[in-house]
């Protein structure tokens, strides 16, 4: 039995589709996580990179059926920080030694948005220079906009494909949302010279182990540098979440599935950056540490000012709503230290896979 985990650990992309599905459903979770963690330690070391996450706005032109900040959710109080606030939070992260930030918001398009972001990026690059990592996660944009933002100082981009199965994607989104357009955006980002990250949600209604194995193969075929994925968690004010059952048992299963995806992705891709998503922490207090022990190597502590945090709720039970950035930093440092991992302070923490290009 164990030989399949050994085979996966021995070389990247060594498994067939069927074998990958078998690894994903491996009965002994501890053996699965341990095999993935060993690959992570070999490829990356017992090290974690931190990215300060700034959720700078929740206005969104998209209407994804699962997402709490979807355009049609009238209960959300919409906000957008001004440029000074965003830059201040990025400076805080820089001084805190995080080495990089992630700027994320709902999806907005148009020239005003493009130049607003461009200005913010130039200001962050002004104090952080090339040594400070800047990841952005701002949805689908024209290639020209991606290029402008790259030239203004962003060098990593996260755009989850959500699921590699176009039929499942169509069930989770309105008809004017296009799986192919999203995939093409990933390719445009590559052409613009970004380190490209994508990912999926696990535990979506109708999703199978076969789909999840295909998701990981999609990460490989798109030659991604970074993977950011997490369990799907229902939000009561969304079409998909409003009647969804949500029991302690389901939460446990969803957490396990999230960890299984991290482990199988590490075992298949070996040298990419993999984030232990905040959604894991929404399911268990120690969810992110468990993500690290299943093969992840990146954590994104929230550095958004406390007063905005409750307005950026993608799913139920978002953690750390009432904490400030300083508390989050101290708490994480303790937690990561307790599992014997070293934090890469003041380092960009680029994907080793990208470094080998």
Nearest CA-CA partner of 98 in 292, 333, 275, 356: 333
Question: For residues 33 and 315, which CB has a smaller minimum distance to ligand SAM in the complex?
Answer: 315
Collapse the DSSP code of 223 into the 3-class scheme (helix H, G, I; strand E, B; otherwise coil) and give the result. coil
| DSSP one-letter string for 77-141 | ---B--HHHHHHHHHHHHHTT--EEEEEES---SHHHHHHHHHHHHHHHHHHGGGSEEEEE----
* Minimal distance, residue 127 CB to ligand SAM, in Å: 24
Among 52, 106, 258, 319, which residue interacts with ligand SAM (rule: CB under 6 A)? 106
Among 99, 128, 230, 258, which residue interacts with ligand SAM (rule: CB under 6 A)? 230
* Minimal distance, residue 238 CB to ligand SAM, in Å: 7
Q: Which stretch binds ligand SAM (CB under 6 A): 1-9, 38-46, 131-139, 169-177?
A: 131-139
Collapse the DSSP code of 198 into the 3-class scheme (helix H, G, I; strand E, B; otherwise coil) and give the result. strand
Tell me how far apart the alpha carbons of residues 182 and 186 are, in angstroms, rounded to a whole number. 7
Tell me how far apart the alpha carbons of residues 54 and 300 are, in angstroms, rounded to a whole number. 9
Query: Using the rule CB under 6 A, is 233 a contact of ligand SAM?
Result: yes
| DSSP one-letter string for 161-186 | -B-S-HHHHHHHS-TT--HHHHHHHH
Question: For residues 138 and 296, which CB has a smaller minimum distance to ligand SAM in the complex?
Answer: 138
The size of the interface with ligand SAM (CB under 6 A), counted in residues, is: 20
Query: Using the rule CB under 6 A, is 201 a contact of ligand SAM?
Result: yes
Contact partners, residue 193, CB within 8 Å, separation at least 6: 150, 155
Query: Using the rule CB under 6 A, is 215 a contact of ligand SAM?
Result: no
Helices (H), strands (E): how many in the chain? 15, 11
Residues 18-37 that bind ligand SAM (CB under 6 A): none
Query: Using the rule CB under 6 A, is 318 a contact of ligand SAM?
Result: no
Q: Which stretch binds ligand SAM (CB under 6 A): 116-124, 134-142, 243-251, 327-335?
A: 134-142
* Minimal distance, residue 91 CB to ligand SAM, in Å: 22
Question: For residues 86 and 159, which CB has a smaller minimum distance to ligand SAM in the complex?
Answer: 159
Q: Which stretch binds ligand SAM (CB under 6 A): 64-72, 92-100, 168-176, 336-344?
A: 64-72
Query: Using the rule CB under 6 A, is 81 a contact of ligand SAM?
Result: no
Copy the structure tokens of residue 225.
């540098």
Buried/exposed code over 237-257 (b: 16+ C-beta within 10 A; e: otherwise): bbbbbeebeeeeeebeebbbb
User: What is the C-alpha radius of gyration for the chain, rounded to an integer number of angstroms?
Assistant: 19
Query: x/- binding map, residues 278-317, to ligand SAM, per CB under 6 A?
Result: -x----------------------------------xx--
Query: Using the rule CB under 6 A, is 235 a contact of ligand SAM?
Result: yes
Cα dihedral value 38, 53, 173, 22, nearest 10: 10
* Minimal distance, residue 33 CB to ligand SAM, in Å: 21
Terminal-to-terminal C-alpha distance of the chain: 34
Among 100, 135, 137, 195, which residue interacts with ligand SAM (rule: CB under 6 A)? 137
Tell me how far apart the alpha carbons of residues 260 and 239 are, in angstroms, rounded to a whole number. 27
Query: x/- binding map, residues 161-190, to ligand SAM, per CB under 6 A?
Result: -x----------------------------
Binding site for ligand SAM (CB under 6 A): 66-67, 69, 104, 106-107, 137-139, 159-160, 162, 201, 230, 232-233, 235, 279, 314-315
């Amino acid at each position: 039995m164990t030989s399949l985990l050994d085979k996966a650990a021995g070389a990247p992309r060594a498994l067939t589709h069927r074998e990958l599905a078998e690894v994903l459903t491996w009965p002994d979770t501890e053996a699965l996580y341990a095999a993935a963690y060993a690959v992570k330690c070999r490829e990356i070391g017992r090290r974690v990179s931190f990215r300060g996450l700034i959720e700078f706005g929740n206005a969104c032109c998209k209407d994804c059926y699962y997402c709490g900040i979807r355009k049609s959710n009238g209960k959300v109080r919409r906000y957008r920080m001004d440029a000074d606030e965003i830059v201040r939070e990025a400076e805080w992260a820089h001084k805190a030694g995080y080495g990089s930030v992630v700027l994320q918001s709902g999806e907005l398009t148009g020239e005003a948005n493009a130049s607003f972001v461009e200005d913010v990026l130039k200001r962050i690059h002004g104090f952080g220079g090339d040594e400070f990592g800047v990841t952005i996660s701002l949805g689908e944009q024209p290639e020209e906009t991606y290029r402008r933002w790259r030239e203004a100082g962003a060098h990593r981009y996260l755009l989850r494909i959500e699921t590699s199965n176009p039929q499942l994607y169509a069930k989770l989104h309105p008809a004017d949302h296009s799986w192919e357009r999203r995939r093409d955006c990933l390719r445009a980002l590559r052409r613009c010279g970004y380190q490209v990250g994508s990912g999926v949600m696990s535990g979506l209604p109708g999703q199978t182990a076969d789909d999840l194995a295909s998701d990981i193969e999609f990460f490989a075929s798109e030659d991604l540098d970074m993977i950011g994925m997490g369990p799907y968690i229902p939000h009561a004010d969304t079409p998909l979440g409003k009647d969804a059952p949500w029991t302690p048992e389901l939460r446990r299963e969803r957490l396990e599935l999230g960890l299984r995806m991290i482990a199988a992705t590490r075992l298949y891709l070996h040298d990419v950056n993999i984030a232990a998503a905040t959604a894991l922490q929404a399911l268990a207090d120690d969810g992110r540490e468990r993500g690290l022990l299943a093969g992840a190597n990146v954590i994104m502590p929230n550095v958004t000012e406390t007063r905005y945090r409750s307005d950026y709720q993608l799913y139920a039970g978002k953690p750390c709503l009432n904490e400030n950035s300083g508390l989050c930093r101290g708490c994480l440092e303790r937690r990561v230290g307790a599992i014997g991992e070293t934090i890469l302070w003041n380092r960009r923490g680029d994907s080793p896979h990208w470094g080998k290009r």
